Amino acid sequence: MKYLLFLLTLITGALLLSFALNHKDMATSREAEAGQISESARDKKIPVIVELFTSEGCSSCPPADEVLAGLDKTQPVTGVEIIALSEHVDYWNRLGWADPYSSAQYSERQSQYARAFGRGDIYTPQMVVDGQMEFVGSNMDKARSTIARSAKSPKANVQIATSPSQDGEKRDQVRLKVSVDNLPDVSEGDTAEVWLAVTENGLSSSVSRGENAGRKLAHSAVVRRLDSIGRITSRGAFSAEPTIEIARAWKRKDLRAVVFVQERESRRVLGGAALALADE
């Protein structure tokens, strides 16, 4: 009888192990069929959005650019996925050098932060963490401590995946599947927007005029486009399938899609995710 019970226990254990392995394989297969999976979903780290307002015309900006690049490359905060956004403002362009990555859109975005922070001015280099804390962008120690503190706030579950290519779809187009759920409470009277950014690494310029004349400047996570793709209500869910048009000047191997949820008035970031867009 004891031998029979022992044999039954072995058989039951083997069946349970087989079921678990098959279930895991099926889940992995479903993920593969859906395309690439967003980095934050894959690594299970807490995403924190780190924005740097910078300019090639600003002599104090290159050290901040290096700080952002270091945060992006080394990911120095344990348990956190730092999602970097380098936004080049255009108000320095009138001083002798037109930053090729600059846009009035990013200058206006920085002004929106100034209003939310109650500041009467804007400056570069300015780093903003999860839309709530700002400081001089060249301060690495401040950046690390602020990122670690921000990671303790509740975050929405944001996921991005690429959709399989369809017949007739152009090679310079990438279709995404975006979903958001488990949204933290939105501040009373505020609304939350879902934003899609495309960033590019490995960019540089040889600056011939202005405060950085004669320098070759390198950049990481440069925002190439930034668009609102919808709104989401408190405790609600969101899904969309936006298409990214890849410009001829962009290098796809260095591109990432970044999706984040942000309150319109307070500018608080409620969650985010990033996905590499390199060719499979």
DSSP element (H, E) containing 244: strand 243-245
Computed over every residue of the chain, the mean pLDDT equals 87
Asked if the model's pLDDT at residue 15 lies above 90, the reply is no
**What is the sign of the dihedral through the CA atoms of 74, 249, 109 and 59?**
positive
Residue range 136-185, pLDDT digits in tens:
999 999 999 999 999 999 999 999 999 876 655 567 899 999 999 999 99
Distance CA 47, CA 274 (A): 9
Q: Which residues, 6 or more positions from 112, have their beta carbon under 8 angstroms from its beta carbon?
A: 267
Query: Can you give the pLDDT at residue 18?
Result: 46
CA distances from 137 to 11, 33, 134 (A): 61, 40, 8
Query: Can you give the pLDDT at residue 236?
Result: 78
Residue range 40-81, pLDDT digits in tens:
555 589 999 999 999 999 999 999 999 999 999 999 999 999
pLDDT band for 222, please (50, 70, 90 cuts): very high
Mark residue 135 as left, alpha or beta (left: phi above 0; alpha: psi -120 to 50; beta: remaining): beta
Pairing status of strand 269-276 against strand 203-206: unpaired
> Are residues 170 and 146 in contact, defined by beta-carbon separation less than 8 angstroms?
no
Place of tokens 């301060």: 139
Structural domains of the chain sorted by starting position, each given as residue range(s) with its CATH number in brackets: 36-276 (2.60.40.10)
